[in-house]
Chains A and B, each alone.
Chain A
Amino acid sequence: MPIAPNKASSNAFSAGNGGAVGIAIEDLSKRFGSSEVLKNVSFSVQPGEIFVLMGPSGSGKSVLLKHIVGLELPTSGRVTLDGFDAAAEETRKQVRMALVFQAGALFNSMSVYDNLALYPREHRMANEVGIRDKVMRALQILSLENAVQKFPAELSGGMKKRVAIARALVMEPQLMLYDEPTSELDPVMSATISEIIATLREQYHVTTMVVSHDRDLALNIADRVGILMAGKLVSLGPPSDLRHPADPRVADFLNPKIDLKNPRFKHLES
């Protein structure tokens, strides 16, 4: 497996002075015009926990993540990170958080190296030599050494996702958020990404929240799993709950039967 940072450097990306951060979401609602995307969502993520949020497309998972990093503002309710209001600009100075966007959101005009080096350069985390070490180590962890001088347009989907994770890692975050890190990837690459996420938490004790439809990921690496449907949190518990869900909607979402005699789209039409 590619994740093998040597013992001596195992603290290289650990969350600095602050340590892992807890997330508290209290009664969060969000509307866009007339459509209500999140409805009174409440839950919390403990420091150092891996929390996996599942749910059908369009159920509001990405919007929820954007509230945690302060890119969207709540219509009502609030999100706090260790007590700091996520909607306040100041919070980004207090809490180092990294969001791995669904599409990567790599800087297209910069090489992979410069994508990773931007944050440490802008925040003067080290001199160029120190930054080079950090960047190369992050790339090594994600086995991307060969992509250093490439540009995002020259990368495959899986490589973009890994570069996005590496870029987040260089930030030494206290809070890592992943938006569908394994979608559009082949099964082996998906498993690799799951291993990377779990290992990063193991090694660096970052609070981790993963939005995903990937059942294997949830069953194998989550401490707790929440399920969001049409803007409501319908289930919250340990991953073992997923094997025998009580709610029939959740059961159908997790184990959809392909039933040719009585297809789903017929129900939708009537």
Chain B
Amino acid sequence: MNQFTRILEGIGSSVLLFGRSVAYLPTLPRQFGRFIEQCYLIGYTTLPIVAILSFFIGSVLALQAGYSMENFGGKQFIGSLVGLSMARELGPMMAAILLAGRVGSAIAAELASMKVYQEVDALITMNIPPPRMLVMPRLAAVVVMMPVLAIIADLVGWFGGAIICSATDSIAIDPPSYFSTMRMFLKFKDVLNGLIKAEIFGLTVVLVCCNIGLNTRGGPREIGAAVTRAVVVSLILILVLDYFVTKLLTWM
């Protein structure tokens, strides 16, 4: 019961924080420096690792597909399988998970520390609302950066698959035929589908991590607890939302 009310409380306060922050969107031009700084942080911390891990995800996908499709002679469709899986599912998912680990944790730590050391209280007494200065620029930045991360994840994953397919003797599909089957089955709609997913995941992660950071109470010990909670809650939300968003998007 207690756990249940805490979950409802978390949802409620996150939605409220989202509303308050979005209301400050008109101040974005004045806070352009903060916005660019957040874009840079998201890109700088997340891009390299998204690229590396997507390469391996694409490769593993190709290997597994080669292994399982051999049984019914569908090996030539590996390109379309890797293409669709990366675009619709794994690209956005990888980007979101790494965003939670690299950026979400850092946001939670920074805001929790500001809360614990009364910097947030100082902002409030200075009539500088924390949602305006601390949350809105981060939300705006993730909206801009998330599609970039997801597309890079897609591209690198596709190329990872292509390299493995031509380099593995048991599969032996050359890149031109790999990409031609991919082009046959992968539509722009699928990529767009993945980008919408990435936006939803990205906004959720940043919002939840900001909210958990700003609601930290107590002493310095709580900063670590807030970071852990922010990452765990983000990961759970990504996986749960993934089901519902996929369902919704296949409907439309």
Contact B128 A119, beta carbon cutoff 8 Å:
yes
Q: How far is the CA of A93 from the CA of B113 in the complex (A)?
A: 26
Contact A103 B118, beta carbon cutoff 8 Å:
yes
The 8 closest A-B pairs by CB, nearest first: A105-B118, A105-B122, A92-B127, A69-B125, A122-B128, A99-B125, A119-B126, A101-B118
Contact B127 A93, beta carbon cutoff 8 Å:
yes
Q: How far is the CA of A118 from the CA of B128 in the complex (A)?
A: 9
**With contact pairs A105-B118, A105-B119 given, residues A122 and B126 touching in the complex (Cβ less than 8 Å):** yes
A-B contacts, 23 of them at CB < 8 A, read A69-B124, A69-B125, A92-B124, A92-B125, A92-B127, A96-B127, A98-B125, A98-B126, A99-B125, A101-B121, A105-B117, A105-B118, A105-B119, A105-B122, A106-B119, A108-B113, A108-B114, A109-B110, A119-B126, A122-B126, A122-B128, A123-B127, A171-B126
A253 within 8 A of B: no
Residue in A96, A105, A108, A123 whose CB lies within 8 Å of B121: A105
B133 within 8 A of A: yes
Nearest residue (CB) in A for B113 is: A108
A71 within 8 A of B: yes
Contact A97 B117, beta carbon cutoff 8 Å:
no
How close is A217's CB to chain B, nearest CB, in angstroms? 22
How close is B150's CB to chain A, nearest CB, in angstroms? 29
Seen from chain A, the residues whose Cβ lies within 8 Å of a Cβ on chain B are 66, 69-71, 92-93, 96-99, 101, 103, 105-109, 118-119, 122-123, 171
Q: How far is the CA of A70 from the CA of B110 in the complex (A)?
A: 24
How close is A15's CB to chain B, nearest CB, in angstroms? 15
Contact A71 B125, beta carbon cutoff 8 Å:
yes
Q: How far is the CA of A122 from the CA of B114 in the complex (A)?
A: 18
Q: Which residues of B contact A92 (CB under 8 A)?
A: 124-125, 127
Seen from chain B, the residues whose Cβ lies within 8 Å of a Cβ on chain A are 110, 113-114, 117-119, 121-122, 124-128, 133
Q: Which residues of B contact A123 (CB under 8 A)?
A: 127
Q: Which residues of B contact A97 (CB under 8 A)?
A: 125
Known: A105-B121, A118-B126. 11 other contacts (CB 8 A): A66-B121, A71-B125, A92-B125, A98-B125, A99-B121, A101-B122, A105-B117, A107-B122, A108-B114, A122-B126, A122-B133
Q: Which residues of B contact A122 (CB under 8 A)?
A: 126, 128, 133
Contact B126 A107, beta carbon cutoff 8 Å:
no
Q: How far is the CA of A92 from the CA of B123 in the complex (A)?
A: 11
How close is A17's CB to chain B, nearest CB, in angstroms? 16
Nearest residue (CB) in B for A68 is: B125
Contact B117 A108, beta carbon cutoff 8 Å:
yes
Q: How far is the CA of A97 from the CA of B124 in the complex (A)?
A: 11
How close is A216's CB to chain B, nearest CB, in angstroms? 27
Contact A71 B119, beta carbon cutoff 8 Å:
no
Q: How far is the CA of A97 from the CA of B122 in the complex (A)?
A: 11
Q: How far is the CA of A96 from the CA of B124 in the complex (A)?
A: 12
Q: How far is the CA of A92 from the CA of B126 in the complex (A)?
A: 8
Q: How far is the CA of A97 from the CA of B127 in the complex (A)?
A: 9
Q: Which residues of A contact B124 (CB under 8 A)?
A: 69-71, 92
Nearest residue (CB) in B for A102 is: B118
Q: Which residues of B contact A96 (CB under 8 A)?
A: 127
Q: Which residues of A contact B122 (CB under 8 A)?
A: 99, 101, 105, 107
Q: How far is the CA of A70 from the CA of B114 in the complex (A)?
A: 18
Q: Which residues of A contact B125 (CB under 8 A)?
A: 69-71, 92, 97-99
Most buried by A among B110, B114, B119, B133: B119
Q: How far is the CA of A41 from the CA of B117 in the complex (A)?
A: 28
Q: Which residues of A contact B121 (CB under 8 A)?
A: 66, 71, 99, 101, 105
Nearest residue (CB) in B for A66 is: B121
Q: Which residues of B contact A98 (CB under 8 A)?
A: 125-126
Q: How far is the CA of A119 from the CA of B126 in the complex (A)?
A: 7
